[in-house]
Amino acid sequence: MDLRSYSPDQEWRLETLLAGLPCLVPDQASGNRVERLTTLTSARRLGDLCFLSEPRRLKEILELPLGVSCLLAPELARLTRDRAGNSSPQATLIETKDPKQIWCAIVERILAIKEQQLEHYIADSAIIDSSARLHSPVHIGACSVIAEGVEIGAGSIIDSHCVIEKNVKIGERCRISAKVFIANSIIEDEVWLHQACVIGGQDFGIMRDTQNIPYNFPQLGGVRIGRGSQIFMASSIGGGTLDDTIIGEHVRIGCQSIIAHNCQIGDYSILSSRAALSGSTRIGQYVTAGACIGTGQGVVIKDRVAVGGLCSFWPNVTLHEGVQLMNGSTVKHDLRGEGKIFFGNPAIPLREELHRRKKIDRLLQEQQNKPNKNSA
253 in a domain, yes or no?
yes
Same domain, 297 and 193: yes
pLDDT for res 101: 82
Chosen domain end from 91, 116, 141: 116
Give 342 or 118, the one with higher predicted confidence.
342
What would the mean pLDDT of 143-161 be, rounded to a whole number?
97
Lowest mean pLDDT among 66-70, 119-123, 354-358: 66-70
Question: CA–CA distance from 122 to each of 152, 156, 176, 193, 261 (Å)?
Answer: 13, 12, 14, 19, 33
User: Which pLDDT score, from 0 to 100, does residue 102 have?
Assistant: 79
What's the pLDDT at 373? 61
Same domain? 189 vs 89? no
Flag the least confident range among 90-99, 137-146, 356-365: 90-99
**Model pLDDT, residue 21:** 62
Is 314 inside a domain boundary? yes
Q: Does 136 map to a domain? A: no
Q: What is the pLDDT of residue 270?
A: 97
Mean pLDDT for all residues in the chain: 85
Which residue blocks in the chain are alpha helix, DSSP H?
14-17, 58-62, 74-84, 99-116, 350-369
161/207 Cα distance (integer angstroms): 34
Average pLDDT over residues 345-372: 86
Number of other CB atoms surrounding residue 290 within 10 Å: 22
Q: CATH no. for residue 200?
A: 2.160.10.10
Mean per-residue pLDDT, 35-61: 60
320 tagged catalytic:
no
Is 276 domain-assigned? Answer: yes
Residues 255, 333, single domain; the answer is: yes
In a domain? residue 49? yes
Question: Could you tell me if residue 84 is inside a domain?
Answer: yes
- Count up the domains in the chain and report the number: 2
Per-residue pLDDT band for 103 (boundaries 50, 70, 90) equals: confident
Pick the range with the lowest mean pLDDT from 90-99, 265-274, 329-338.
90-99
Of the given ranges (117-121, 153-157, 320-324, 348-352), which has the lowest mean pLDDT? 117-121
Question: 104 and 202, same structural domain?
Answer: no
116, 136, 154 - which closes a domain: 116
Q: Would you say residue 226 has pLDDT above 90?
A: yes
Based on the fold, state whether residues 185 and 44 are members of the same structural domain: no
**Least confident stretch, 150-159, 222-231, 353-362:** 353-362
- The answer to whether residues 320 and 187 belong to one domain is yes
**Cis? peptide before 137, omega within 30° of 0:** yes
- Shared domain for 199 and 338, answered yes or no, is yes
Give the dihedral of Cα atoms 89, 94, 99, 105; nearest 10 deg: -130
User: 90 with 208, same domain?
Assistant: no
Q: Catalytic residue among 120, 261, 320, 355, which?
A: 261
Closest CA to 92 of 202, 173, 191, 17: 17
- The residue with greater pLDDT, 369 or 275, is 275
**Residues 96, 219: one domain?**
no
Residues 207 and 339 in one domain: yes
Residue 10 has pLDDT above 60, yes or no: no
Q: Which pLDDT score, from 0 to 100, does residue 87 have?
A: 60
Instruction: Evaluate if residue 117 carries a pLDDT over 80.
Output: no
Q: Domain range for residue 52?
A: 3-116
Query: Which of the two residues, 183 and 22, has the higher pLDDT score?
Result: 183
Question: Virtual CA dihedral for 38, 43, 45, 51, nearest 10 degrees?
Answer: -50
Question: Would you say residue 163 lies in a domain?
Answer: no
Predicted confidence (pLDDT) at residue 45 exceeds the cutoff of 60 = no
Q: What percent of the chain has pLDDT over 70?
A: 83
> In this structure, how many other beta carbons lie within 10 angstroms of the beta carbon of residue 291?
18
190 domain-assigned: yes
Q: Which of 67, 96, 116 is the last residue of a domain?
A: 116
